[in-house]
Each structure stands twice: as structure tokens, then as C-alpha cells.
């Protein structure tokens, strides 16, 4: 009987300790949810399938200067498929889209993870997201990295264009500061010229338009 009571006491103590531990840790943070239907613009938008920012010839020269070895044509598909898998695993639940577009990958990130309205300062939440992306891009170095900045449809064309340029540059600077070779990166602001939603009917659609996209393409020389 004494042994049974001792065991019961130990079990009760363990249960209390477990409950206390759970309470002290607190609930995990909820992932940010991406806007519904985050790809209505489609994947055939001209800027997504267009030439590299700055042109392939100039960008390839920068890759050679950075001593980055080109992929063979036969190796490129498998290399990009592996990067696609890793990006999806490492960013799962964050609230962004990883999209395959032609031979490349587009990482589409909504306003909830990017910038406050009218700002080009990287938000703390975006910092964690970009760090995961930077790690994968650093590992898969045989790729070009294009950064596109977008705004919603509010404000003037001139203000939105300037803001999108600053946002794209801020993301490019972050990636370069976290191990991605500068020779691989270029950025461009598209202002309000390529909205996912036009017209914008609510705040969610405005937030979806106010996005950053990172396009990754294989470097094949």
C-alpha cells in the first residue's frame, strides 16, 4: 500500500510539473495568413517571364566576376527542383507563396510580412522570413536573384514608383547582407503597374497588391 501511494504521488508530481511547464512556455505564435486567392494576376505576367533585371549578358558577367560556376543545361532542372522543395519546407506556415514559373521560382510575399503602408523599412516579422529565404539562396548559389517591389493602387504614380524602388532595394540589401552574393542580385520597382487585384475592393486586396516578389532563375552561363 505504501509503495502504491508513493507511485501515485510521483505520478501526480510529474503531471503538475508538465502542466506548469506548458503554462510557462505559452502557446506558439499563430502563423500569418496570406490573402485569399493570392495569385489572381496569374503566372503569365510579362515581368515574371521577361528577361533578367539589367539583361542576361550583364548579369552573367557579374556572376563570372563573383567566380560562381554555371550550371549545365542538364543539371539546371534538378537543381531548381531541389531549391523549390527546400524553400517550401523552410517557409511552410509563414504565409507566402512559392511558385514555379518557367525554369525559375517566384517567392511572393504579402504586405503582412513586408512593409507598413508608405514605408520601405523592413518589418521585424519580415526579417525572420527573409532570413530563411537568404539561407536557402546562399546555399543554392548557382542562381540569379531578381527582387520586384510593388505597391497598392492608392497614391500617385510617381510616389508609388519611388516607394516600390526603395522596397525592392531594401530586400536586395538584406539578402546581400545575409550571405547572398551581390553579384547575383538585382532589384526593380514596378510601382502600381502590376496589381494582383484591379480595382481593389477592400483592405485585403490592397495588402495583397503591396507585395515583394523574389524571382530565382538558374545560372547556366
Mean pLDDT, residues 116-121 taken together: 80
- Structural domain contains residue 3: no
- Residue 134 maps to a domain: yes
Question: Residues 150, 100, 98, 114: what is their CA dihedral angle, to the nearest 10 degrees?
Answer: -10
pLDDT of res. 31: 47
* Contact indicator for 153, 193 with CB cutoff of 8 Å: no
Structural domains in the chain (count): 1
Q: Cα separations (Å) of 69 from 59, 220, 221? A: 13, 9, 8
Q: Return the pLDDT at 44.
A: 67
Element (H, E) at 101: strand 97-101
Q: 501515485: which residue's cell?
A: 8
In a domain, 65, yes or no: yes
User: What percentage of the chain carries pLDDT values higher than 90?
Assistant: 51
Residue 25 lies in a domain: no
Round the average pLDDT of the chain to a whole number and report it: 82
Point out the least confidently predicted range of 57-71, 151-165, 201-215: 201-215
**HSE toward the beta carbon, residue 68, CA cutoff 13 A:** 25
Joined grid coordinates for residue 100: 514555379
C-alpha cell at 58: 550583364
Residue 15 lies in a domain: no
Here the CATH number for the domain that contains residue 135 is: 3.30.1330.60
Is the CB of residue 124 less than 8 Å from the CB of residue 164? no
DSSP letter string, 167-214: HHHHHHHHHHHTT--GGGEEEEE-TTSS-SSSS--SHHHHHHHS-EEE
Global pTM reads: 0.80
- pLDDT of res. 3: 38
Domain of residue 137: give its range. 31-218
- The position carrying cell 552561363 is 221
Closest CA to 138 of 183, 93, 104, 91: 183
The answer to whether 147 and 188 are in contact (CB under 8 A) is yes
- Residue 6 domain-assigned (yes or no): no
Amino acid at each position: 500500500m505504501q509503495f502504491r501511494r508513493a507511485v501515485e504521488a510521483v505520478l501526480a508530481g510529474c503531471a503538475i510539473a508538465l502542466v506548469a511547464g506548458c503554462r510557462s512556455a505559452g502557446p506558439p505564435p499563430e502563423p500569418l495568413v496570406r490573402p485569399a486567392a493570392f495569385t489572381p494576376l496569374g503566372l503569365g505576367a510579362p515581368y515574371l517571364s521577361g528577361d533578367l533585371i539589367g539583361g542576361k549578358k550583364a548579369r552573367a558577367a557579374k556572376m563570372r566576376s563573383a567566380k560562381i560556376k554555371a550550371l549545365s543545361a542538364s543539371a539546371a532542372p534538378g537543381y531548381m527542383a531541389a531549391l523549390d522543395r527546400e524553400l517550401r519546407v523552410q517557409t511552410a506556415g509563414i504565409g507566402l507563396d512559392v511558385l514555379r514559373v518557367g525554369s525559375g521560382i517566384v517567392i511572393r510575399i504579402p504586405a503582412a510580412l513586408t512593409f507598413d503602408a508608405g514605408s520601405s523599412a523592413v518589418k521585424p516579422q519580415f526579417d525572420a522570413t527573409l532570413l530563411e529565404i537568404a539561407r536557402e539562396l546562399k546555399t543554392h548559389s548557382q542562381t540569379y536573384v531578381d527582387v520586384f517591389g510593388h505597391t497598392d493602387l492608392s497614391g500617385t504614380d510617381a510616389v508609388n514608383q519611388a516607394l516600390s524602388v526603395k522596397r525592392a532595394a531594401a530586400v536586395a540589401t538584406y539578402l546581400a547582407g545575409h550571405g547572398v552574393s551581390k553579384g547575383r542580385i538585382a532589384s526593380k520597382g514596378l510601382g502600381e503597374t502590376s496589381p494582383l487585384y484591379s480595382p481593389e475592393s477592400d483592405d485585403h486586396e490592397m495588402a495583397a497588391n503591396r507585395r515583394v516578389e523574389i524571382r530565382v532563375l538558374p545560372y547556366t552561363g
